[in-house]
Amino acid sequence: MALGFYVAWLAGKPETVALVPEDCAKALREHFPADTVEGNSLSTFTDFDSLVSAIEADVAGAKSYVHLIFFKYEDDPVGRRLGNLLSRKAAEGVEVRLMYDDAVNKSRYPLYRDLRAAGLDVRGFGKMVIPFLRKKDNYRNHRKIVVVDGRVAYVGGMNIAERYGLGLGWGRWRDTQLRIEGPAAAACELAFATDWVHEDPSAAAVLSDARYYPEVPASGSSKVEILCSGPIGEGPVIMDRICRMLDESREYVWMESPYLIPTPQVRDSIIYAARRGVDVRLIIPPRGDRGVLTPLATKAYVGPMLREGVRIWLYDPGYMHSKTIVCDGRYATVGSTNIDSRSYLLDLEVNAFIDDPVYEASLKEIFLDDAARSSEIDPAVWARRPLPEKAAESFAKLFSYQL
């Protein structure tokens, strides 16, 4: 009985609390009051090695500071190589701050100790001593952000881990990261600074300084809005924006995600769009990267979506970990947010929402290339799967809120 009450409490819908006190938030926003920012140049990375090379090139050119948040920053050849570069920049006098999610990185403490010794300011988000003793221990900082000198920023789905380049034993790792050059980099810096101040309130006076938000000239034509969400912070604003994108769509909405475990709000928005005649498509992986419940729960939602007219592909070359949406020839989003309840309600996430027909077209082409390598699910064949398989999926669906 007690265990049941504990699980119900842990899985209950979170109440949103402020990430930082109001005075700190006001100080941090003083230099960046805008939402949507024009004049940005965007680049898309779907290959991990190319992404790391680009980050290293930007870090090598840093003059003032480098700020990084990764859900996972692993102790492997990639993590060590980037760490060595960050250490050299710190020795040159560049400020380097690195944040990681504490709960999923405890085995990497020796690496973080070495980086601190080399001059980096390194700390975990949401330090957890006894797992799940507090409700907030169930919240993860799932963001991936890099900011260099306030002029260049990265957001997306890739962590710093060698397996992103090597792939899994059964296939390649397919992901998407966005590089932003231009004024919107300041919004990514604001997101970083807010997370950092949550862990170290005394840093508010430092990270609200104008030098972290320099005047950056326009370098492109893309309009970009950076949204952060989470139970510690702004609440489910990314979920709400994605629902709005679906609800206002008229022609098509094409999505990529490693999971299909939507909240009721997102599920309904997807279904209602399909019922209106919107061309709704989704690419997901054929299997999971960890555990059995998550891929089973994903499959539980496939059948109902297919019956409503949503077209779904399985990414044959490997594991689809990309989190992107393109819509109606104009709008797109790239970020860390999966189509799952955990991302929408329990984790801290960051997404770039883009208003630019040219960029949307480029991301749409990537989707079409991925679809060409994938197998579309036949609704009739899917419906005829064995009953035990469907029963296992229905059981896994019971845990959707935590997946």
Distance CA 245, CA 262 (A): 15
Distance CA 257, CA 282 (A): 8
Is residue 41 a contact partner of residue 210, using CB atoms and an 8 Å limit? no
Q: Which helix (H) or strand (E) holds 311?
A: strand 311-314
Residue 198 annotated as catalytic: no
Q: In this structure, how many other beta carbons lie within 10 angstroms of the beta carbon of residue 366?
A: 17
Q: Which of 195, 321, 364, 370 is catalytic?
A: 321
| SS3 call for 208 | coil
Handedness of CA 303, 309, 310, 316 (dihedral sign): positive
Residue 328 annotated as catalytic: yes
Find, among 277, 237, 284, 280, the residue nearest to 260 by Cα.
284
Q: In this structure, how many other beta carbons lie within 10 angstroms of the beta carbon of residue 402?
A: 17
Distance CA 32, CA 187 (A): 7
Q: Which of 137, 328, 355, 397 is catalytic?
A: 328
Is residue 17 a contact partner of residue 234, using CB atoms and an 8 Å limit? no
24 backbone dihedrals φ, ψ, rounded to 5°: -65, -45
Q: Which of 144, 198, 299, 364 is catalytic?
A: 144
Phi-psi region of 171 (alpha: psi -120 to 50; beta: other; left: phi over 0): left
355, two tokens: 């208003």
Query: For 45, how many CA atoms within 13 A lie in the half-sphere containing its CB?
Result: 23
Q: Which of 67, 72, 142, 299 is catalytic?
A: 142
Alpha helices in 308-386 (DSSP H): 341, 357-372, 379-383
Residue 144 annotated as catalytic: yes
Residue 142 annotated as catalytic: yes
Residue 13 annotated as catalytic: no
Is residue 334 a contact partner of residue 176, using CB atoms and an 8 Å limit? yes
Alpha helices in 177-335 (DSSP H): 185-199, 204-207, 237-248, 264-275, 293-307
Surface-to-core class of residue 117, CB atoms within 10 Å of its CB (0-12 exposed, 13-18 middle, 19+ buried): exposed
Q: Which of 31, 323, 340, 347 is catalytic?
A: 323
Q: Which of 75, 101, 102, 149 is catalytic?
A: 149
Residue 240 annotated as catalytic: no
Catalytic center residues: 142, 144, 149, 321, 323, 328
